[in-house]
Amino acid sequence: MNDNAVFELPKQSYNGQIRAVTLGSEGKAVTVGGESCYPFHCFEGALPHAPRIAMEVYDTPPTDWPDAALAPFSDVLSDPLAWARKCITNYGAEMICLQLAGTDLNGADASAEQAAGIVKNVACGIDVPLIVWGTANHEKDTEVLRLVCQTCQDRKLIVGPVEEGDYKKIAAAAISYGHTIVASSSIDINLAKQLNILLSNLGVPDNQLVLDPTVSGIGYGIEYCYSVIERIRMAALTQQDEKLSCPIILNIAREAWKSKEAGPSDDIKLGEATKRGILLEAMAAWVLLMAGGDVAIMRHPNAVSLVRDMIGEMS
């Protein structure tokens, strides 16, 4: 063997790039996306904006959370604005995701006006980007998110989920008032692409669009979500599929925490109750960031800190 031979790392060649999308209004705006390589493959391409974490806040006090998830927020559970501020001040949240669980038809069924009031209150009280997430009920989300778009027209929100069944009404309102849209489809690259085409036909500008390919927790089909996200990234980066070249958002916290394994259990083999949910959340978020996520919506400060450290080490 020739002594002069130098090992060369085989490199993937890319021809596409993820669009950089700026979330929120000026000042504390956050730019995501923009990468020209697979997740954290900084040796192959550029990763101008490392993945970001949005911390979630609920419009109504959660009733089905394990104690571990409730503990850090026990003093702010019934005040979404205080909750959001705590995430920002105490835990360094760069973005907030306001989950409108209270508008659930099968839950409190809060009216669009109530919801829009809460959103407006939170939006005016914080300066980081605000993601507003509905209940994925087409009729209800249409009603709620349209009003939210109109009520908060002086802020640049990120609203979702916008699905094929309600995209026209919600997206029209969002573009009318300059908000960004979360295009949501159920774990299928074709559906994701088709929805993006529909949205762009409707007139949604490319830089006001992020993608939610649907996520699930560990043990609940995360590998399928991983594959779909990975495929979307391959299409965007190696096949120049412009319709799939948008940043991906992962609404993962609620999936991780609603699993049986994150909840209370007598089974000592499952490990410590205070750590289980945190680790499940952190691992799930990390797995999906490795697949190609750009924004992870997370809940527990410790899980956030674990993932934030990992992102720091990898990028």
Partner 1 sequence: MSELIVNGAIRGARSIVERAEKEYSVVLSKWGAGQTVGFPNTAYYLPIVYAIFGLQVKSLGDIAQVLQHCRRLLPPIENAAGSAYGIPQALDAGMATLFAEEIIEALRYVTTPNLYTKTEDPTGGNLWLGAADDVILRRRGVEFVDGSAPGFATILGAAPDKETASAIAAELQQRNLYIFMCGQNHDISFSEQLNQAGVQVGWSSRLVPFGQDISSTVFAIGFAVRVAMSLGGIKPGDGPANMLYNKERIFAFAMPLGEVSDEWYANAAGAINFGFPIISDSNIPEILATGAGENDIVVANVPHDKIVSRALDVRGLKVNVTSIPIPVAYGPAYEGERIRGDDIYLECGGGRTQMVELCLSKRTDELEDGKVEVIGPDLSDVPAGTKLPMAIVVEVAGRQMQEDYEPILERQIHHLLNYAQGVMHLGQRDIGWLRISKKAVEKGFTLRHLGVILHAKLHQDFERIVDKLQVRIYTNAEDVNLMVAQAREVYAVRDPRIDGMTDESTDTYYSCTLCQSFAPNHVCIISPERAGLCGSYNWMDCKASHEINPNGPNQPVAKGSQLDTRLGQWQGVNDFVLKASRGNTNSFNSYSIITDPATACGCMECIAAIQPLCNGIMIVNRDFTGMTPCGMKFTTLASTIGGGSSTPGFIGHSKFNIAQRKFLSAEGGIKRVVWMPKMLKDEIRDRFNARAKEIGMPDLLERIADESIGITEEEVLPFLTQKEHPALTMEPLM
Q: How far is the CB of 78 from partner 1 (least distance, A)?
A: 33
Q: Which two tokens stand for residue 24?
A: 């929120």
Minimum CB distance to partner 1 smaller for 237 or for 262:
237
Q: Each residue of 76-101: b (16+ CB within 10 Å) or e?
A: bbebbbbbbbbbbeebebbbbbbbbb
Minimum CB distance to partner 1 smaller for 146 or for 276:
146
Q: How far is the CB of 179 from partner 1 (least distance, A)?
A: 12
Q: How far is the CB of 239 from partner 1 (least distance, A)?
A: 5
What is the C-alpha separation between 259 and 277, in angstroms, rounded?
Answer: 9
Minimum CB distance to partner 1 smaller for 181 or for 307:
181
Nearest to 21 by CA among 11, 31, 7: 31
- Interface residues with partner 1 (CB under 8 A)? 146, 150, 153, 168-169, 171-173, 175-177, 188-191, 194, 197-198, 201-203, 205, 231, 234-235, 239
Minimum CB distance to partner 1 smaller for 73 or for 167:
167
Contact 208, 20 (CB under 8 A): no
Residue where the block lists tokens 């750009």: 294
Minimum CB distance to partner 1 smaller for 171 or for 287:
171
Q: Which two tokens stand for residue 64?
A: 């089905």
Minimum CB distance to partner 1 smaller for 16 or for 301:
16
Kindly calculate the radius of gyration of the chain based on its CA atoms and give it in whole angstroms.
19
Tell me if the bond preceding 161 is cis, omega within 30° of 0. yes
**Separation in Å, CA 93 to CA 8, 156, 206, 314:** 40, 18, 26, 19
Q: How far is the CB of 29 from partner 1 (least distance, A)?
A: 20
Q: How far is the CB of 164 from partner 1 (least distance, A)?
A: 11
Minimum CB distance to partner 1 smaller for 96 or for 191:
191
Q: How far is the CB of 279 from partner 1 (least distance, A)?
A: 31
Minimum CB distance to partner 1 smaller for 106 or for 201:
201
Minimum CB distance to partner 1 smaller for 231 or for 258:
231
Residue 22 pairs with which residues in a beta bridge? 31
Q: How far is the CB of 270 from partner 1 (least distance, A)?
A: 33
Q: How far is the CB of 170 from partner 1 (least distance, A)?
A: 8
Q: How far is the CB of 282 from partner 1 (least distance, A)?
A: 29
